[in-house]
Amino acid sequence: MSERRPEVNAPSSPVLDRVLKGSLCSGCGACATIAHGSVSMSYSKDGFLRPVQSGPVSPEQDRRIRQVCPGVGLQLPLDDRPQHLLWGPFLSMYSGHATDPNLRRLGSSGGVLSAVLTYLLDNGEIDQILQVAADPELKFANRTITVAECGDIAAAAGSRYAPSAPLADLEHHLASGQRFAFVGKPCDVAALQAMKVGDARIAERIPYLLSFFCAGVPSLAGAREILARMGVEEDEVTAFRYRGDGWPGMARADLRNGTHREMSYADSWGGILSRHVQFRCKICPDGIGSFADVVCADAWEADEKGYPRFEERDGVSLAVGRSVKGDVLLRRAVESGYLELSPFDPAGLSAIQPGQLSKRRFVLSRVLALKLLWKPVPAYRGFHLLRNAMSGGLRGNVRNFLGTVRRAFLGRL
């Protein structure tokens, strides 16, 4: 299960070594900011963004990486916010959509994240957005961008099921003196929260941290398999969308010859991408974005058997205000006409987020299996792992435990 080790001319960082050996890296890029000049992010052979060490990492930098790296662990402070065992700390939960029909259509679900970002920029609460969009060179890959004009927000809307490392160049953005809203995967936001300890600039210059429910990051091999199934060569592609432009929206490749190919969400995510998700995501306790101010997800409807339905329709997001700031932000965006939201009963979430439910319940048994095999695992605090495991029942826990042991023996972690 070991990943590529750093390419070093200097002693390798013990922390990066352990994280990479255990395939525990989520690809956030925080270490590349901390050890700038010695560590950078690049694609591994299997298509994930991973740190590559090319120079010395000082003991102080190593200590800092250990404090913030989601591959080392996640510490969720248990404060006085209401805590939901399954769905984390939150103050408000809604379903709804952007009032701008263009953002609603282009957004991954209901365009709520993009509408909130528009509200923040329009009202001068931030100068720029730090987010992820399609890489202009490799159309199905990601690039971290800054956006200063509301008109440019729509271009980054939609989920991109490929690696992203939005913290890799953070120092540059902090040094610009601008105020940002940040959008990233839950683990990126967790790392950024951890980086606030010891760097007062982060809270001041990045006042809003937004995220989305995250089932895991697929490698670039996932997109390549989609293209192969579409019968398309990589160099024919002029634009690539994983979804959005409808809900859930089709995976779509635009081609040089002016035509395009499409694939349904059920086939692209369900049939291909989900098989290419990185290992760290399989033992992630926080695909629900507990560290963010606002987190959004798909507010799927459930069918008669209680499973999410993926027929095309107008997008609806789940929007969760986790912090006081996030709760106030959602309400102000509604009052100012950017969002339409109605209260959502968390009791309905398990049916439409079965993947997240299962991870919340069975992460502990997977982690325990790895510990038993002397594999390195991240340290998790504050996620109610034991109580959630107990609510998953003996059978599910044993199945996940034995499944992890089996995969480890088969070398398929």
Ligand X SMILES: Cc1cc2nc3c(=O)[nH]c(=O)nc-3n(C[C@H](O)[C@H](O)[C@H](O)COP(=O)(O)OP(=O)(O)OC[C@H]3O[C@@H](n4cnc5c(N)ncnc54)[C@H](O)[C@@H]3O)c2cc1C
- Do residues 56 and 215 make contact, with C-beta atoms less than 8 angstroms apart? no
Compute the distance between CA of residue 16 and CA of residue 51 in angstroms, rounded to an integer.
Answer: 8
Query: Strand pairing partners for 43?
Result: 49
Residue 109 CB, shortest distance to ligand X, in Å, is: 4
Which partner in ligand X, ligand SF4, none is near 295 (CB below 5 to 8 A by kind)?
Answer: none
Q: Is 158 in the site for ligand X (CB under 6 A)?
A: yes
- Kindly state the DSSP code that residue 387 receives in the 8-state scheme: H
- Do residues 32 and 6 make contact, with C-beta atoms less than 8 angstroms apart? no
Q: Is 316 in the site for ligand X (CB under 6 A)?
A: no
- Do residues 344 and 352 make contact, with C-beta atoms less than 8 angstroms apart? no
For ligand X, the closer of residues 232 and 297 by Cβ is 297
Q: Is 51 in the site for ligand SF4 (CB under 6 A)?
A: yes
Out of 194, 227, 296, 330, the residue judged to bind ligand X by CB under 6 A: 296
Out of 284, 296, 334, 352, the residue judged to bind ligand SF4 by CB under 6 A: 284
Out of 33, 95, 278, 317, the residue judged to bind ligand X by CB under 6 A: 317
Q: What is the DSSP string of 203-248?
A: HHH--EEEEE----PBPHHHHHHHHHHHT--GGGEEEEESS-SSBS
Q: Is 193 in the site for ligand X (CB under 6 A)?
A: no
Compute the distance between CA of residue 352 and CA of residue 345 in angstroms, rounded to an integer.
Answer: 12
Out of 51, 96, 111, 321, the residue judged to bind ligand X by CB under 6 A: 111
- Stretch in the footprint of ligand X (CB under 6 A) among 28-36, 62-70, 80-88, 350-358: 350-358
Residue 112 CB, shortest distance to ligand X, in Å, is: 4
- Stretch in the footprint of ligand X (CB under 6 A) among 18-26, 63-71, 172-180, 351-359: 351-359
SS3 10: coil
Compute the distance between CA of residue 201 and CA of residue 30 in angstroms, rounded to an integer.
Answer: 15
- Stretch in the footprint of ligand SF4 (CB under 6 A) among 19-27, 123-131, 154-162, 236-244: 19-27
Q: Is 114 in the site for ligand X (CB under 6 A)?
A: yes
Residue 196 CB, shortest distance to ligand X, in Å, is: 19
Site track for ligand SF4 across 203-232, x = CB under 6 A:
-----------x-xx---------------
- Stretch in the footprint of ligand SF4 (CB under 6 A) among 181-189, 316-324, 369-377, 385-393: 181-189
Compute the distance between CA of residue 289 and CA of residue 362 in angstroms, rounded to an integer.
Answer: 17
Compute the distance between CA of residue 282 and CA of residue 276 in angstroms, rounded to an integer.
Answer: 11
For ligand X, the closer of residues 6 and 27 by Cβ is 27
For ligand SF4, the closer of residues 185 and 205 by Cβ is 185
Compute the distance between CA of residue 108 and CA of residue 160 in angstroms, rounded to an integer.
Answer: 9
Out of 3, 6, 8, 30, the residue judged to bind ligand SF4 by CB under 6 A: 30
Structure token digits, residue 266 = 């059920």
For ligand X, the closer of residues 108 and 365 by Cβ is 108
Taking each helix axis from N to C end, the angle separating 186-196 and 59-68, rounded to the nearest 10 degrees, works out to 130
Out of 108, 128, 323, 397, the residue judged to bind ligand X by CB under 6 A: 108
Q: How many residues bind ligand SF4 (CB under 6 A)?
A: 25
Compute the distance between CA of residue 208 and CA of residue 179 in angstroms, rounded to an integer.
Answer: 9
Which partner in ligand X, ligand SF4, none is near 111 (CB below 5 to 8 A by kind)?
Answer: ligand X
Those residues whose C-beta lies under 8 Å from the C-beta of residue 47, and which sit 6 or more positions away, are 163, 219, 220, 221, 222, 224, 276
Compute the distance between CA of residue 391 and CA of residue 66 in angstroms, rounded to an integer.
Answer: 32
Q: Is 355 in the site for ligand X (CB under 6 A)?
A: yes
Which partner in ligand X, ligand SF4, none is near 131 (CB below 5 to 8 A by kind)?
Answer: ligand X
- Which sign, positive or negative, has the C-alpha torsion 91, 184, 188, 33? negative
Q: How many residues bind ligand X (CB under 6 A)?
A: 38
Residue 217 CB, shortest distance to ligand SF4, in Å, is: 4
Compute the distance between CA of residue 210 and CA of residue 113 in angstroms, rounded to an integer.
Answer: 8
φ, ψ of residue 2 to 5 degrees: the values are: -70, 140
Say what the alpha-carbon torsion angle 78, 84, 89, 91 is, to the nearest 10 degrees. -130
Residue ranges in contact with ligand SF4 by CB under 6 A: 16, 19, 25-31, 51, 65, 69-71, 185-187, 214, 216-217, 280-281, 284, 286-287
**Can you give the binding site for ligand X, defined by CB under 6 A?**
107-114, 131-133, 142, 156-162, 164, 166, 183-185, 212-215, 217, 244, 287, 296-298, 317, 353, 355-356
